[in-house]
Structure 1
């Protein structure tokens, strides 16, 4: 995969003209993005009346109904065979009576209390989980990547055991973008979702990730709010019994105490885990934890709207964003509603605003689909279901743009391509960014793995080129200092907390500039004939080539 730096160099020799060109002049003037729409939709969806928009709660019907209303007003048509909805079967699992996670057999017992030190759950649809005296093994970063010559599980049998895992990639502390896992830039191997998936493949009874704020990219409060209360998973045959019995996180001080009790040095073993050839370390202690589950099956809904194409209506350009948030969460200063104003009421507002602009511009040769998905906060569930059960075949989906949180702090001079170096959409968007008087910037925190954390990833995994771009930190007013301060303030004080609320003082010019870029890229694809692909060395190229060959 290409680094961001090499991508910028390639821009000089690989212009967007490598693909069939459709200019804004050819496709008509760009309609204005409505700031009033952005304000109204964001404020409405993030109000307390919508109770944090948790899927499968009474708030869902209110949320999806409002989105349909706005889609209709924008000029869209129902996008799923005459219906506005796609049912997404989910199962809700709520952990109750959680006992502390205890480690015995070491120098002194170590205990992790639920919520304060520990969050724990299960993917299994089962009424009870009981882990008793399970051998504990430290498996480093929990990565098994044969193509990179890396296997943290080599030579160790963890079937029925509890594995302790570090978050992110082994080379996340590298300053640059060179290394076995792309250096500072996170790969999917660094995501918590992968680590639990691999632990299950290895047969682990329980998988516990050590929380560390910098490599996790968020503080313990985010983990606590996200992992407590009802948890959602796709409802599929087999009840996920192939997964580990228990999955969760512990605070780093608990891990340090555990290793000390086992006579090990946590810092030394964590450092050893960054080197290829690391061997998993049995800690010589045993883990126990238990809880019961309340199980509820109920379908949630994706909302699908369409502007049908003219001469190639079976070819589709996709805009997406997730409507859900965390609902009612652990209270902060008496407030227990996680309103999700930025994340992602603002993204749905952007989806509606682009739908309005697209309808005003008139029909294009290809269809434009607007998809508001459910369950993003629970593991990209709605977009995953759509990708696996597409209303419009993925082989006939040209590409698209995902919106997950708009810029409400002011216009930025730069536009960041998240996970840069992946697809030819990046070449197409460069002149559009320039037309906004902006420049392509390097992703400031590639170690946070944002490309793998939102709904475009569900489509990308199955081959559809998706752009994930956003405002950078270099603000027109205040520069990078102001931009970084605003980003830090949001992450620390608002992200996945009740404080993510609508603010009438927000500045919307940055959001409008970003939406102009999304609109222009989507409109160019919808009006044109190009089929942009992934770069030859991107991890999604092969599946796209196979699907397109089948379509032809």
Structure 2
């Protein structure tokens, strides 16, 4: 492997350093598609057509070719489910009834494509972290039958409070078992009628406002045969204080049971209360679109290097001071700006040996649906996809001295990127908030699950101008005050030097992959190594 890396570096060195990344392109694209005219870029709305048309226009202008057999787009079949007439979630049978109001105290939804959901007098069971991990000797559902029941689940992993990123569940570094998507998947496998996660800001890594804006209004799912009837009838979240009230009404101590749930061998606790809720569901079947552009290769056009970013955001959302458009300027209009800027840079450098594909995916905010659909229905076979880079929310606060690889320790792309980080005068540092589970929260994960190595990294907190304190303050301000809120709007005063530096790294890495014959793999210990080896074995 080492001699391949050296040869690839030498081969790529001239072309990789030849182009600069246009901050003006990133500014123009971000400002345009995050304007109110695009109404927050919700998939399957009229705003989608406008967004897709603009991205196609910019791809074409950059010098790309249509990437899907002569077409610019790939249809992604989706179904839109909207909850109406949501009754309170009522827990009865305890010392006193506990009633939770929609949006304020809880959010509720369903994956099932059905016109009405009604849960009545469902037995409630506290299942701790809701994890079944036989390889780690952990099963919160051991000896338990939850068919038709309501399970209450804690967010994140049992050892998330560990200061270091090591332990049975990687300590501070969230595993997929800590991600809310896994918890609902496992509850469905166990037959639970309802699955409710208790929201707690620190282990969730975001406040209730993010849950409220993301889980209310129209919800998108993949439109597949079977209408998701294998899923739980109801899934949702409840506020922490309401969970404590529920446990008190059931004669239980929430804090004590939560502490017990962190210990191996925890046994689920029936709360002796029953849950009831109902609502109507509006159903709308239609397709959204991924946008696919390509710079065809000269010698190995069937082998592709992939850049991805999601174009969608939340659309209309809960109003703040009269503003109900979640513009998604940083998340992720900036990523699309970066995708266009990279397309321009690669096109100006001319075709590489391999093809370079630029993929703007839909419905990331709805659960990575666009990237999942592409990965499961690839235009270019995944076995022929060398690897690539995903971008989700660029740095607009200035250049940093550091660079963070999200989910580090997984693939050989991390070795390949090191010299390009150093060339920018920067150093690679560990994730500051591994408990956020960022590795499982963006589109690279759709490809990783099916074996394709994808780099997901960005600027750290150590600003060249201002240092770590200023960087952390800016990051915290964004998460608390703008992330998934109407305040995520374009600002002409943003400093794009950090984004330029990050994208310079991404460009050089992508160019190296495209101009060489190297095939990066996952490290032997990575959970995605086996599927990659199997995929590549037939080539």
Q: Do Structure 1 and Structure 2 share a fold, with TM-score over 0.5?
A: yes
Structure 1, unpaired ranges of 5+: 1-12
After superposing on structure 2, the runs of 4+ consecutive aligned residues of structure 1 that deviate more than 3 Å are 13-26
**What is the deviation of 1:143?**
0.4
Which of 122, 144, 148 pairs up with 1:134?
Answer: 122
Which of 303, 313, 323 pairs up with 1:335?
Answer: 323
Aligned position for 1:86: 74
SS of aligned partner of 2:365: helix
**What is the deviation of 1:35?**
1.1
Asked if 1:275 is matched to 2:263, the reply is: yes
Give the whole-Å Cα distance in 2 for the aligned partners of 1:434 and 1:180.
33
Aligned position for 2:83: 95
Deviations 1:169-200 (A, max 9, x none): 11100001121111110011100000000000
Q: Is the 8 A contact 1:167 1:212 kept in 2?
A: yes
Deviations 1:426-450 (A, max 9, x none): 0000011000000001100000000
30 and 346 in structure 1: CA distance in 2 versus 1, 3 angstrom threshold: same
Which of 279, 285, 304 pairs up with 2:292?
Answer: 304
Give the whole-Å Cα distance in 2 for the aligned partners of 1:401 and 1:22.
21
**What is the deviation of 1:531?**
0.2
172 and 541 in structure 1: CA distance in 2 versus 1, 3 angstrom threshold: same
Q: Is the 8 A contact 2:33 2:333 kept in 1?
A: yes
Which of 97, 108, 112 pairs up with 1:109?
Answer: 97
**What is the deviation of 1:27?**
2.6
Aligned position for 2:478: 490
Q: Is the 8 A contact 1:16 1:427 kept in 2?
A: no
Q: Is the 8 A contact 1:16 1:430 kept in 2?
A: no
Superposed counterparts of 1:532-547, under 5 Å: 532-547=520-535
Q: Is the 8 A contact 1:48 1:339 kept in 2?
A: yes
401 and 174 in structure 1: CA distance in 2 versus 1, 3 angstrom threshold: same
Q: Is the 8 A contact 2:11 2:516 kept in 1?
A: no
Q: Is the 8 A contact 2:16 2:508 kept in 1?
A: no
Superposed counterparts of 1:190-209, under 5 Å: 190-209=178-197
**What is the deviation of 1:22?**
3.8
Give the whole-Å Cα distance in 1 for the aligned partners of 2:161 and 2:22.
42
Aligned position for 1:215: 203
SS of aligned partner of 1:21: helix
SS of aligned partner of 2:9: coil
Give the whole-Å Cα distance in 1 for the aligned partners of 2:391 and 2:4.
23
TM-score by length of 2: 0.99
Which of 419, 427, 430 pairs up with 2:418?
Answer: 430
SS of aligned partner of 2:283: strand
Aligned position for 1:143: 131
Q: Is the 8 A contact 1:51 1:328 kept in 2?
A: yes
Give the whole-Å Cα distance in 2 for the aligned partners of 1:280 and 1:120.
23
Deviations 1:266-310 (A, max 9, x none): 001001111111110000000000000000001000000000001
Give the whole-Å Cα distance in 2 for the aligned partners of 1:98 and 1:22.
62
Structure 2, unpaired ranges of 5+: none
Asked if 1:258 is matched to 2:246, the reply is: yes
439 and 288 in structure 1: CA distance in 2 versus 1, 3 angstrom threshold: same
TM-score by length of 1: 0.97
266 and 16 in structure 1: CA distance in 2 versus 1, 3 angstrom threshold: farther
Give the whole-Å Cα distance in 1 for the aligned partners of 2:336 and 2:512.
21
Aligned position for 2:45: 57
Which of 153, 172, 181 pairs up with 1:184?
Answer: 172
Deviations 1:89-146 (A, max 9, x none): 0000000000000000001110110000010000000000000000000000000011
Deviations 1:520-552 (A, max 9, x none): 0000000001000000000100000000002x2
Q: Is the 8 A contact 2:12 2:516 kept in 1?
A: no
SS of aligned partner of 1:378: coil
Give the whole-Å Cα distance in 2 for the aligned partners of 1:501 and 1:16.
44
Q: Is the 8 A contact 2:16 2:509 kept in 1?
A: no
SS of aligned partner of 1:296: strand
SS of aligned partner of 2:492: coil
**What is the deviation of 1:15?**
9.7
Give the whole-Å Cα distance in 2 for the aligned partners of 1:18 and 1:195.
43
Superposed counterparts of 1:97-496, under 5 Å: 97-496=85-484
**What is the deviation of 1:20?**
4.0
SS of aligned partner of 1:119: strand
Give the whole-Å Cα distance in 1 for the aligned partners of 2:505 and 2:40.
29
Which of 38, 46, 57 pairs up with 1:69?
Answer: 57
